[in-house]
Structures are given as C-alpha cells and as structure tokens.
A and B are shown apart, each in its own frame.
Chain A
Amino acid sequence: MLLANSLIGLCEKQSGYIKASFQRAMMPFILARGTLHGACFSGKHNFSDKELQLNQSSATRRHLKRFMILASSYLAIAANVQAHGMQPNEADKAVSEVPAAISAIKDAGPAPEGMTDLKFREFFRLPVGPRGLEPTEKLISLDGKRVRIVGFMAHHETPMADAFILSPVPVTLGDEDESLADDLPASVIFVHAAQPEGRTIPFFPGLLRLTGTLSVGPHEEADGHVSAVRMQLDPDLTRLMLAGQPQK
C-alpha cells in the first residue's frame, strides 16, 4: 500500500489529465506493475518502448485520445489481474524496484552489434494460416541468435526453478492448468537462467527488457509444459535477477 500511495502521489504531481477516480481505478494495476508506472502519465505517453505505442502522431488531440485508449486497456488489464486472484499485497513480495539493466522504462537505443530486437507481435504470421498460427521467418531465423525483447514477467503462483515466462501482457499463472487458456497469449517466451542452479527467480513487476540467446521449436520444460520459444538469459542478467535486489 505504501508503494501504491507513493506512486499515486507522484502521479498527482505530474499529471494534469488524470482524475482522482481514474487513479483509484488504476491502483491495482499500479500495485501489480510497480515501476512501469513510476513514470506515470503526463498526458504524453511516456512509454519508451514502441511495443506499447500505436502510430506516431504529433497532434495533441490525437495524442490525448490515444492515451485514453491505452489507459483504458491498462485499466482492463488491471481488472483482469484482479479477477484472476492477484491480491494487491502480493506485489509486496515482489522485487519493489527493477534494476535499470532490465527495466524497459527508458529507451535503450538501437540493439548493439550481434543482437536483434524481437517483438512479441513478430512471433506469428498474419493473416493466421489455415492450419493455425505459423512462426514468422524472422522468429525462425533468430533460432540460436542473441535477441533483445521487452515483456512482462508472468507471476507464477508456483514458480519454476531457473525459469519464468515472459509475456506481452501482465498475467498471473495459477496452479490449475485449466485457468490459463484464455489468459496466456500464444506469443510467450520461456526464459531460462544462464546456468541451472535449481533456484527460483523472484518476480519483477513492470516491463522488462531482457537479452539472451533464442531457441525456437517445441521443447519439454522441466515441469512438463511444452514451450515453443525459449531464451537463455545472459549470465549477467541471470545473476542480477537471481539476486533480486534493487540496484542503486
């Protein structure tokens, strides 16, 4: 609750657009998402990552409208997170501040030499194929290559050892397989620690930017689930996330 209050406070200082009732509605979302919203809304969409943006526009009116659309979808996500049982105080168990090295709040600039930016919406071909979803040539071509991707760490009620799911939307994964079908998008990625150590990687809220080596194709995970796309996290990020400590 302290976290939420301080964030709301921050928002009140920065935002001329958001009504108090709107902020109250945003609370569960802010709690669940932590520092993504440390930036708050300032009327301009200050999400640095293009993944979350629609078409660029300079007109202020369209800017505002777009912000409203974005905001309403976040509200919806917040409602969804609540509906699926994430209690506000669960955020307290999570890492309260995301290290700058994996936070996607700030624009990271172009990918360095030998690394490719991959977006969740680039996983599958559109239109959808007659026999279902098909991976894009880009996804297939990145098998075995180093990639950089932005997404949300899925909140596992029963965490996996040395691994977690990165998703384009915030999701909570219950123990019951049945509950997941409609919640987990098709385009998720299993992120594996650089070295298996049998340890649980703590939950990091908000948008993360991760780098590692991609592998594509069905693979049975240790817990019996079959993943389609995986990333072996870079060793320095693995250490950072396993430590789970705020980086000053």
Chain B
Amino acid sequence: MNTPAFTRNCMHLMISAALASMASAAFSASPSTLTISRLTPPSNPIVSGASTLARFLPGQRFDLQATVQPIAGQAISSVEFKVDGVSVGTVTAGATCSDKVASGNKGMLPATAITASVPCAVAASIRAYSNSAAGMHTLTAKATQSDGAVVERSGNFEVVGIIPNNGRTAKNIIIMLGDGMGAAHRTAARIMVKGYAQGKAQGRLAMDTFPVTGMVMTSSLDSIVTDSAPGMANYVNGNKAANNQEGVFPDDTSDAFDNPRVEYLSEFLHRTKGTTLGIVTTADVFDATPAANAVHTSNRGNGTGIVDQYLDDRNLTGLTVLMGGGRKWFLSNPSNTTSPQPVNGSQRKNSSDYVLPGDIVAGWGAAAGALDASRDLIASFQSAGYTYAADKTAMDSAGVPDKLLGLFSFSNMNVAFDKINARRGASSIVNDYGFPDQPMLDEMTDKALQVLNKNNANGFVLMVEAASIDKQAHLMDSDRWILETIEFDRAIKKAQDFASTNPDTIVIVTADHECAGAAIIGAYSGGGAAKTSVLTYQDAKFPKYTINADGYPASTDVSGKMLIGYGANADRYETWQSNPQPTQDSQQPFVGSAPLNTYPANPNVRNSGTGYLVSGQVSGEQAVHTATDIPLSAYGRGASLFTGVFDNTDVFFKLGQIAVGGAK
C-alpha cells in the first residue's frame, strides 16, 4: 500500500479528534441545570414524619456542607446556608473554581471526587455549627452560579433536648466495647468460666450483674450490616456514618480528612465540662473502634494521620490515656516508604497522613496537621507530657503518671489465649511475635482508671475495647474468642468496681455489632473431626471447665467441650479442638519469617490436614459481621435509661442526658 504520509496523518488526526469528542461527551456529566447534589447533615428523604436521620445534642458541633454542580462552562460564585430560614453564613468562591477557599469557619473546596466528570463542582462548608434549640430544624442551602442562576435545597436535622436538672449527673462515662460481642459470645464465656448445672448457671459474669440490659440495633448509614468504624462512632456522636468512616459524614472530595465532622462525646464534654479521655484497646490503636472516639476521617486505613491526630487534637478531646498495640505507626520513617520497610519497621507514610483545610482548623480549633512520615511520634507524645510504656513491666513501674501512652505490640496485641498460656509457661506464641511482656486488658483498664482518676476534677470518658472478640470470631477460632470475652469480663469487673466506689459514674457494656453469627450448638463427643461428633440437645449435657487461679480455663479441650457454630461463616476446616497457633495476622512485622510464617494463614487452610470442611455461606476467607441486635448492659448513674430496644445512636443521647441533664 502506498498511501501518502499526509493522508495517513490526516486520517489519524480525524479519528483521534472524533474519539476525543466522543470521550468528552461520555465523561462530562455536568447537569443541565444548576444542582445541589448533596446536603449535609443527611436528611431522611423517604417519608415525612419518619424518624429523622441527623440528630445532635443541644450545642453539639457539626459541619454544614453542600455539594454544588454548575452547568457546563459555569462556576459557583457563592453558597448561603440558612437554618429555619435565617442565614447562618455565606461561603464565597475564589477566583477560579479550583481554588481552595477558607475564610474563618467558611470554606469552599473543589469536589475532587466528581470534578473529573463535573468540572467546577464544589463542596461549600460552614464548620463547627451548633444549635441549642431542641426540636426539628430546616436546613437550606442556596447556591448562586456565576451567570446569576440560583438553586435551593432543603433538608432537616433534629436537636434532641436534654431534660435539665433531672437528677444527679454522671461525672465519669465508661464505655466497655466488646467488638463483635453478641449474645452468644457472652453466653459462651459464662458457660466456660462459671459452668452450668441442672439448667442453671453456677455463677454470673460481671456484665451479667449489671442491673439494666437493653437491645441495640446496629446498622450503619449505608448498610444493615455495619463495620467497626461507624459501629463505634454512632455511640459517641449520635449519628449514623458510612462504613469505613469515623466521626464524619460522607462527602464528594477525595481527601479523607476534610469530610464534614460531627463532634464526639469526648470533644463535646471536654469543651463544655473539661473532661479527659482514655482509650484502651487490644487492637492496634489506629483501628476503627479506638479511632472513632477521637479522630475524624472517612478512611479508617489512614494510620499515620489517625495516630498523629490523637496527639495533635488532644486539646479538643482531652486525651490522657492511649493504650493498645500499633507501635509501627509511631516510629520515624524519613524514607517515607514501606517498600521496603525502614529498618525500625515504621509504617508511617505521607500518603496516609493529613493536612486539614483552613476552615476546619479555624472552625474547630483543630491542629492543621502536616505530612511528616519522619515524625518520631513517641517522642512527640513524651514531650507533650505522656509517660511511654512499651510493655507490662514498664506500665507497672510507671506508677500513676499524669498522662500515659502504652504501645505493647507492633500491630494488634496477642490474644488472651496466647498471653495467658505464655504466663503459664505453656506457650511461646508471644515470643514468636516479638512481644513477650504484654499486659492483659483488665490490667490496662485498671491502670487507665488510676491515671484518669488522678486529676479528676471534671470527670472523664473512658472507652475500653476488647478488639479480638471480633477478630477471632472472624477467624472462627472459637477457643480464642471465648477467652477474649472472659478477659473482657475481667476488665468490666474493674470498671464496675470503680463505679461502685465512685457512684457518679455510668458504665455501659456493649458491642458495635455481632460478629460471625456465633451460636452455641452443643458439645463435642470426642469422636474426631466429623459432624457425628456434634452432640445436640440433651446429649450436650453441661460442659465443665477447670478454672485456674488466673481466672482462665486450665484447658479449653475438656471432654464434652462446648461447640460453636457460625451462621455468617466462610469455609473452614474444623477439628473441634483448640488451635495451638493463632491464625496469621498480616499486620505483624515478622509474619513473613519463621516461625510466624508457619502459622495457619486462614480458616480455610487451618487444620486442612486434620479437620473436616465446613463450607460457609459467604465467600472470602473469614466469617462476617451480622445485623443481629446486640445486648447492652448498664451499671451506675443513669443505668435505668438503657432498657428496651433502641438504636445505637440513641445511646449517645442517653449518655448526654446522664452527663449533662442528670438522671434519677
């Protein structure tokens, strides 16, 4: 073929021009009229008169935000917010629509999650708004386009009134959060540690002795089944959140730290009453449940920014105690890369760190943040007055410091089953992980209460999480999550004892959700790994465990042991015996090296040579959370409010009533 070069090039040009115009037609989705596509706080759009979506305590702060989409070729010039028809502020745009504007607590940002398809879409905000008048309020955003076109959108939110002078207020609030702990987890712990005979439990767990118990509905903003981020956050800020998000509403920017915020209980009570905050967990402290008490982000995975914000915004939360795992996020990483990891094993990276827009900084009084993977965060905590404990010995010898940072492992801490067996000299699992001297959760709780009670003029908020009830239930390692629940109950006893001697304290024991659809299905015949070994009904009898002086069963592999089934299960090989090794945790630093690399990686390979395959309903390697209601038990000042069936967000308003208005 002898086509002249000119013709060939010309055809190329024509084709690429045609493709380009097709592409721009396909990708540009600017609306045909000026549109407010999202108004925050979210309203209930379904039925008028239905229970409202966004609710706040009188004076609790939250952000107002509107995502506005101009028509093609236009930009947004201003957005005015009105509450009950009265203007609460107008946000004015910058010179171009890609400008980030911040003027006091007012800001306008490019809506970067949608600007690829809708150029010049913006998110306009008024930060840290609050309203003290109880009742329903109408929120209206009015956006003006550069050609003068105007659009309005309205929604609503509710301020839930507090009954004033309703009795004595609680000075201290203790939230005991058994991650993933449903009714079956509580029952299994009771059967193992207290024993049953002739149909009666031979003793009570500490949480069983709480005078009031209710049932909690746990769904999140975007699903009947929640994950742990909104599961915690809605107890402590009163609002539904989307999965993966903590302390924020969803937005249309790609930055995970600029979302519209909701003030946490810790922040609200610190600002209004001067309370301090304690966070204690067996997980990595960057994990969703601990972070959802103090950190505002739409991405629970941003470890560097999450741990930085704990310290940076201690003046907003009153953070005084932070204990758990997660040392890897606190170590300086000047290389700003984890491939390979720096020699100290740091996981810090600028890409998971934060810098806040100016309107959040001004509105909330928050620290601006910095992209500083090289930060030595342990040293930063120490220079801010925190005593640092790296193991149980250091925690014990610290006495009762003013402030305490405890980081007892690189990621999630080892579980009670392996910690207690190490103390008995029966296991070296914790040595394999490189952290032979980790405290138990009750010891951490005891220490946290001492520190928080040291300078306790204004009270405190303490959240204690038993994280691995959930993690081990995901792994369907029954023996390990039952011991986690026993360990948790020992921590609950510490909180209960504190409330007994400090009666201006409310303690609630709850969960963020149920995990794995756990069920006590009977007992084991001893007949080997097979269905025929599962004894049901009267054949199950009453499994009997010997409890050592340390409070834990001498062995979980007793004859006629209790058997657990899972309704939300993935495939697993089951032997009905305890697993000598925990299933691998990919976040541990030595997981790739011997001996950790010889631990089973997942339930679908664990015991694959010795167990029988129990096939699950869910794909993937782990059991999943369920939407089943979970029990909540309360003790102390205002406990009587926690009865009946209620939503997880209701817990926040009950706590607000007890802390601010009092309870009889």
Contact = CB atoms under 8 A, between A and B. Distances in A.
Contacts of A127: 391, 431, 434-437
Given A126-B431, A132-B328, A168-B592, A186 B341 contact: yes
Contacts of B391: 127, 130
B390 A130 contact: yes
A145 to B, nearest CB: 18
Interface residues of A, number: 54
Contacts of A128: 327, 345, 409-410, 434-435, 589
Interface string B379-411: 000000000101100100000000000000110
A218 interface: yes
A133 B599 CA distance: 21
A100 interface: no
Interface in A113-131: 120-121, 124, 126-131
A79 interface: yes
A158 B56 CA distance: 51
Interface string B593-609: 11101111110011111
B610 interface: yes
A187 B601 contact: no
A33 to B, nearest CB: 14
Contacts of B609: 64, 68, 71-72
B338 A184 contact: yes
B340 A77 contact: no
Interface in A98-151: 120-121, 124, 126-135
Interface stretch (A197-205, A206-214, A223-231, A240-248): A223-231
Contacts of B351: 177-178
Q: Chain B binding site: helix, strand, loop or mixed by DSSP?
A: loop
A134 B328 CA distance: 13
A155 B331 CA distance: 28
B339 A72 contact: no
A187 B593 contact: yes
A173 B340 CA distance: 10
Contacts of B335: 218, 220, 225-226
Contacts of A227: 340
A182 B585 CA distance: 10
Contacts of B191: none
Interface residues of B, number: 54
Contacts of B593: 120-121, 168-169, 185, 187
A54 B595 contact: yes
A73 B346 contact: no
B605 A76 contact: yes
B342 interface: yes
B449 interface: no
B600 A73 contact: yes
Nearest to B600: A72
Given A218-B335, A228-B342, A76 B434 contact: no
Contact of A185 (B344, B589, B598): B589
9 contacts: A68-B610, A72-B605, A76-B584, A126-B431, A127-B435, A168-B592, A169-B592, A218-B343, A220-B335
Q: Shortest 4 CB-CB distances between A and B: which pairs?
A: A76-B601, A185-B592, A226-B335, A132-B344
Interface of B: 327-328, 331, 334-335, 337-347, 349, 351, 378, 388, 390-391, 394, 409-410, 431, 434-437, 581, 584, 586-587, 589-595, 597-602, 605-610, 621
Given A127-B434, A130-B391, 18 more contacts: A54-B594, A69-B598, A72-B606, A79-B602, A120-B592, A120-B593, A127-B435, A127-B436, A131-B378, A133-B345, A180-B338, A180-B339, A184-B340, A184-B592, A185-B591, A186-B345, A226-B334, A229-B343
Interface of A: 22, 51-52, 54, 64, 68-73, 75-77, 79-80, 120-121, 124, 126-135, 165, 167-169, 171, 173, 177-178, 180-182, 184-188, 190, 218, 220, 224-229
